[in-house]
A and B are shown apart, each in its own frame.
Chain A
Amino acid sequence: MKLHEYQSKKYFSNFEIPIPKGRVAATANEAKQIAQELGGRVVVKAQVLVGGRGKAGGIRLAKTPQEAEDKAAQILAMEIKGLPVRKVLVDEAADIETEIYLGITNDRAARKPVMMASAAGGVDIEEVARETPENIIRVHVDMLLGLRDYQARDLAAGIDLRRDTWRDFARIAHGLWDAYVASDATLAEINPLVVTSQGRLLAVDGKMVIDDNALFRHPDLAEMRDLDVEEAAETEARKYGLSYIKLDGEIGCMVNGAGLAMATMDIIKLFGGEPANFLDIGGGAGAEKVAAALRIILQDPNVKAILFNIFGGITRGDEVARGILSALKEVQSEVPMVARIVGTNAEEGRQILTNADMITAETLAEAAKKAVAAAKGEKVQ
């Protein structure tokens, strides 16, 4: 789960990381008031959870409160990469000498957190990693030992940071580590970390991504979820314990298991169709869950056929079939449906569905071909 810039910086400031003075505003008028309180030049920044806000015109400098109001009004009327701007952050403008990058993320391959610093701050770090990887200094941190002082020094020295700022830099690096651990973040970054002309360090932009699996122990952070970044159907699916992701194709799929759901999408494509969604209904396949999943799939007007691929395993095939039928009583639809059930009592399950005039298939390949044909309006048995 991503946090907004203003939320991330606020969080960082609890860990002795200096941030610019400023506040978040939902209206242009509020932005003007904040600019008045701050005095001097301010930066008005769109709070949306996508990269490239600056390039899209979502970050503007304002010299007067009136200008802050105008720019806030413009930004609040914007959509950036499809996301509406609902809030702006009004921050005191920093007096910038240089900009550096400091971040921490999980290195899957090393199975450890990695703290990274770069003298090239203020630009997309993934771009730096691609084009000039030598400009990123990395230290792997032991989860049980935590960040050590020498590691912070190695980063500072590695990016040729002014020596008179090393002590501040180390304090910020430790603060960032502590924030990362305390929040169960998978990413915590300051970009840019600004060195002012007086030699002070200031976290001008911040970004955090929190591990969804750890939200149970961070109810305060869980409340910050911004639902704009996901489709309404994805939010609804989560309520039912379903994992759903909307795609652009015409064949809806309902599968038990994430890997099998991906493989089902892939085979639809392989046989000339396009999947309309990813949907994992998880273990079991009770009527209620199947019905919820079916409703969500059918909300997508592009869906021309639905493919059920259920690997029974321990769940019995006849139970799954009854689940599908009772869901269909609840959710009426003319969309052709192909069902493939494998595992325990699969034969009985298929019989139940055939009797109910559903298209059935034995293999995954057969099911995919039938779904693709049905989506094209062909008659399928």
Chain B
Amino acid sequence: MSILVDKNTRLLVQGITGNEGLFHTEQMAAFSTNIVAGVTPGKGGEWVLNGKIPVFDSVRFAIEARGANTTVIFVPARFATDAIFEAADAGIQLIVCITEGIPVQDMMRVRNYLDQKGVRLVGPNCPGVLTPGESKVGIIPGDIAIPGEVGVVSRSGTLTYEVLYALKESGIGASTCVGIGGDPINGTSFIDALSMFEADPHTEKIVLIGEIGGTDEERAAEYIADHMTKPAVAFVAGRTAPPGKRMGHAGAIVEGGTGQAIDKIRAFERVGVRVAAHPEEIPELL
């Protein structure tokens, strides 16, 4: 069992004929994800993956022909906002956006609209969602995690892989791994993921991987104290990050004294969440 994606996921790939889209479609298919269709405007009627997956001109056409409940977006940043709106308007309930570099005002419009429609977005600027043994939606390497009982939620990409890999090396598996992305405004927050893991009967423990910038970790700590029965372990990247500098991710910046790693670490420790000194320490703390 899992959250967000599983065996019942019928996946659409937006931007399926681009380099990234095509490469990761192969990777997802190799992981036995049920990919029902792809979308690239202007390429409707083509097929990819040796004629296995049909390409449509729009999300609406793809859904009418093939049925899909989830989409993953590999569209370049300047077109990604529109791709998200298109998916939401076509009735998709879960949108996973991998694209990095979407303007923040666009994301505020997206959030506003999706919240009103009740559509869930994961990302943008994220590695996607992986439920080991069931479904992979996004770019997390499928072989670095084994099925298990630990729910993982993270703002990062390769750092998440590092943690999944460390868990696997210790024989610990994951129920689902959710990359929520490194942008200042995203679709799914730590709290959203925590509440889903709390409700999932097959998740027993949670690993939360945060980083500098914003106050999402602090609010997650409060939420854990007030609403969670399952134990959580955290790691926060960026203790050595200087203030005022954007550390790669658009959202990873200490501004006006807020967003510091130490404040986030203290917030977790205050509510009894153990914080790892480095990523490889996480399996021990579990």
Interface residues of A, Cβ cutoff 8 Å to B: 106, 108-109, 111-113, 126, 129-130, 142-144, 181, 184, 186, 211-214, 216-217, 243, 245, 247, 255-263, 265-270, 274-275, 278, 280, 311, 313-314, 342-344, 363-365, 368
B229 lies within 8 A of chain A by Cβ: no
Chain A residue nearest to B239 in the complex (CB): A266
Beta-carbon contact of A365 and B158 below 8 Å = no
Beta-carbon contact of B108 and A143 below 8 Å = yes
Closest 7 CB pairs of A and B: A259-B156, A258-B248, A257-B158, A259-B159, A214-B103, A262-B237, A313-B141
Distance A318 CA – B211 CA, assembled complex (angstroms): 30
Q: A186-B104, A314-B139 are in contact. Are A259 and B280 (CB under 8 A)?
A: no
Beta-carbon contact of B158 and A364 below 8 Å = no
Smallest distance from the beta carbon of B85 to chain A beta carbons, Å? 12
Distance A342 CA – B140 CA, assembled complex (angstroms): 14
Beta-carbon contact of B239 and A269 below 8 Å = yes
A-B pairs with CB below 8 Å: how many? 170
Beta-carbon contact of B161 and A311 below 8 Å = yes
Beta-carbon contact of B162 and A245 below 8 Å = no
Beta-carbon contact of A106 and B157 below 8 Å = no
B270 lies within 8 A of chain A by Cβ: no
B215 lies within 8 A of chain A by Cβ: yes
Chain A residue nearest to B105 in the complex (CB): A184
One of B52-60, B62-70, B109-117, B197-205 contacting the partner: B109-117
Smallest distance from the beta carbon of A231 to chain B beta carbons, Å? 11
Smallest distance from the beta carbon of B235 to chain A beta carbons, Å? 8
Pick the residue among B109, B141, B182 that contacts A259 (CB under 8 A). B182
Distance A368 CA – B104 CA, assembled complex (angstroms): 35
Residues of B239-286 at the interface with A, using a CB-CB cut-off of 8 Å, are 239-242, 245-252, 256-257, 261, 277-280
Pick the residue among A126, A212, A214, A259 that contacts B157 (CB under 8 A). A259
Chain B residue nearest to A243 in the complex (CB): B248
Chain B residue nearest to A268 in the complex (CB): B240
Contact with A along B119-156 (1 / 0, CB 8 A): 00000000000000000000111011000000000111
Residue of B103, B156, B238 most packed against chain A (CB within 10 A): B103
Q: A262-B252, A342-B165 are in contact. Are A267 and B157 (CB under 8 A)?
A: no
Smallest distance from the beta carbon of A318 to chain B beta carbons, Å? 16
Beta-carbon contact of A260 and B239 below 8 Å = no
Distance A314 CA – B30 CA, assembled complex (angstroms): 13
Beta-carbon contact of A261 and B248 below 8 Å = yes
Distance A106 CA – B143 CA, assembled complex (angstroms): 39
Residue pairs across A and B with Cβ atoms less than 8 A apart, 28 shown, are: A108-B184, A108-B251, A109-B219, A111-B108, A111-B111, A112-B108, A129-B256, A142-B112, A143-B105, A143-B108, A211-B103, A211-B104, A213-B102, A217-B103, A243-B247, A247-B240, A247-B242, A256-B158, A258-B157, A258-B248, A259-B158, A259-B159, A259-B237, A262-B241, A262-B252, A263-B237, A364-B279, A364-B280
Pick the residue among B104, B143, B245 that contacts A245 (CB under 8 A). B245
Residue of A216, A259, A342 most packed against chain B (CB within 10 A): A259
Chain A residue nearest to B214 in the complex (CB): A108
Beta-carbon contact of B113 and A213 below 8 Å = no
Pick the residue among A186, A269, A313 that contacts B158 (CB under 8 A). A313
Smallest distance from the beta carbon of A351 to chain B beta carbons, Å? 19
